[in-house]
Structures are given as C-alpha cells and as structure tokens.
Structure 1
Amino acid sequence: MLERIRSFFGERIDPEREGDPDARLRLAAAALMVEVMRADFDAAEAEKAEVLAAVRRQLGLTEQETAELVALAEEETEGTVCLYEFTRLIHESFDAERKGRLLEELWRVAFADRVLEAQEEFLIRKIAGLLHVPHADFIAAKRRARNDARRVSG
C-alpha cells in the first residue's frame, strides 16, 4: 500500500519541488484515518465524508486528488497494514500538541457515524500507544471529538 500511495504523492506532490517536507507526515496521518474508518469493517458514508474532509484539510489537495488518494488507501487497506511505519514517522516528528490534534481527527472519524465501535476504539488506543500519547491526552481528545459530534448531530 505504502508504495502505491508514495507513487500517488510523487506524481502530484513532490515535497522537494513544492517545498513541503511534511507531505509524508500528513500522508501517514491520512492513512491512519482510513484505517480507523475501516476498523469496524463498515465504512459508513459519514465516516468516509469525515476522512475526505480531514485529508483535504491536512494535505491541501483538490477534491479530486483527495478522492483518488482515499480510494487508493481504501483499496490497499483490504490487506494487512502495519501501523508501525506510519506511527513511527509521526511519533518522531510530531510534538505532543500535534499528536493530540491527530488523535482528535481519528476520534472524529470514529464518531462520524454516531456509533463508536469497539474495533475503532481499540485501533485508536493502539495508535495512541504507538505515538506514546499519555492516557489523559487520549481521553481528552476523545471527549473533544465526542462533544463536537454531539453538537453537529444536534
């Protein structure tokens, strides 16, 4: 999967050419969002819409590029994906605040369909552990995302 996503990025966003050394980091974050969306084996439309919005916010892609990247990630996540490669890159590069914002995005994806499944929570907990996020920050991100989801759903 990672090779096809790298190829996608190489064709559209060259970090050297565009002056964007964080492209790989944002790509890793986007891949984690897709993984959370697929964690319960039921990618609800609301979850997919949240992933598209979050990926677009983080990567600054056009709607078409965002849709292509998410579709590629969905196709490739049918098989086994090692979270370690993505989380290692993020852990080494993100500060605590940025890790917290990423966790909040992951929780938003999980809450997008208004149903938090055990698999989604397990995966986010695993990601938080791999990122060495303190439990209090993990819970705070979850609460913020849950409160935002409640406000949106009314």
Structure 2
Amino acid sequence: MIKGLFDRLLNAGETPATDADARLALTALLVRVARADFVYDTVEQAQIDRIITRRYALAPAEALALRQEAEVLEADAPDTVRFTRAIKDAVPYEERIGVIEALWSVVLADAARDEHEDALLRVVANLLGITDRDSNLARQRAAGA
C-alpha cells in the first residue's frame, strides 16, 4: 500500500493519486507536523485522531488504523512535497485552508509552538498554494477553537 502510494505520488502524471491517497497523505502530513518539534505525544496523536475522525467520518478504530498507517508512511517519506502534491491535486483551495487550520491545531495541541513547527507550516502552506494571510487566519481560528 505504502509503496503504491509513493509510486503514484512520484509518477503523478502516469497514475494519479486517489482520494484514499490524499486521505493518507493528509494524515501523514499531520503526523509530520506533530513530529516536527521532535516530540510526538498522546495529546498530538489524539488531536490527529479527532481531525481525521471528523473529516472522514471514521469510527475511532478506523481513525487509529489510518493514523498508524500514516505514521509508517511519514517515517519512510523522504520529503513533504509528495504529501502536499497529493493534497493539492485532490482538494480545492477553500478546503486546503481547512487543511492548514487542521495542521495548526496539531501544532497548538500541546500548547507550545516550536520554531521547527512554524517553519514546516510556512513551507507546507506555500506548497499547498495557501497565502500567508490565509494561513495566519487559519492559525488564529485553530487557536480560538
């Protein structure tokens, strides 16, 4: 499954990414952001589970399985571009703003912003085509939630 996803992401013109690929890519990106500060704790894992449960209407066991699969994918992925490409190709701009808001909510879940997380979010927002203004507004909404 993971090799197939990497193949589709690397050869986007030949075999396009599916909605399931975008779902896995988003979850892996959530994990990558949570791990950016070198601390991946249960608070962040629980936030990821809440996001994917709500976004994809999953049962708790399904969310856990998706997150665990995404953790393996994230650990094996050489860069972030593959994840953002799958998301950008499958998700309209307005919904990508929601992706950035979800990413910010993971960053803020442990009540400590880290320079590594901030830097990664700036890169991810750019790769997703999200403006700095929209990313900042998404961060403010995530902080207020």
Please give the range of the TM-score, normalised by the shorter of the 2 chains: 0.7 to 0.9
Give the TM-score of the pair, scaled to structure 1.
Answer: 0.76
Q: Does structure 2 conserve the Cα–Cα contact (< 8 Å) formed by 1:37 and 1:47?
A: yes
* Aligned counterpart, 1:13: none
Q: Does structure 1 conserve the Cα–Cα contact (< 8 Å) formed by 2:32 and 2:74?
A: yes
Q: How does 1:1-150 map to 2 (within 5 A)?
A: 2-3=2-3, 22-148=19-145
Give the TM-score of the pair, scaled to structure 2.
Answer: 0.81
Q: Does structure 1 conserve the Cα–Cα contact (< 8 Å) formed by 2:24 and 2:66?
A: no
Q: CA RMSD in A?
A: 2.2
**Identity fraction in percent:** 32
Post-superposition offset of 1:115 = 0.6
Q: Does structure 2 conserve the Cα–Cα contact (< 8 Å) formed by 1:51 and 1:109?
A: yes
Q: Does structure 2 conserve the Cα–Cα contact (< 8 Å) formed by 1:40 and 1:120?
A: yes
CA distance in 1, matches of 2:135, 2:52: 21
1:80-100 CA-partner distances (Å, limit 9, x unpaired)? 432112211222232221010
**What stretches of structure 2 of length at least 5 have no aligned partner?**
7-17
Change beyond 3 A, Cα 1:30–1:78: closer
CA distance in 2, matches of 1:25, 1:98: 12
Larger radius of gyration: 1
Change beyond 3 A, Cα 1:78–1:91: closer
CA distance in 2, matches of 1:98, 1:59: 13
Q: Does structure 2 conserve the Cα–Cα contact (< 8 Å) formed by 1:26 and 1:58?
A: no
Would you identify which runs of 4 or more consecutive aligned residues in structure 1 move more than 4 Å?
none
Residue identity in the other structure for 1:89 = A
SS of the residue 1:78 aligns to: helix
Aligned residues: 134
Residue identity in the other structure for 2:21 = R
CA distance in 1, matches of 2:89, 2:73: 25
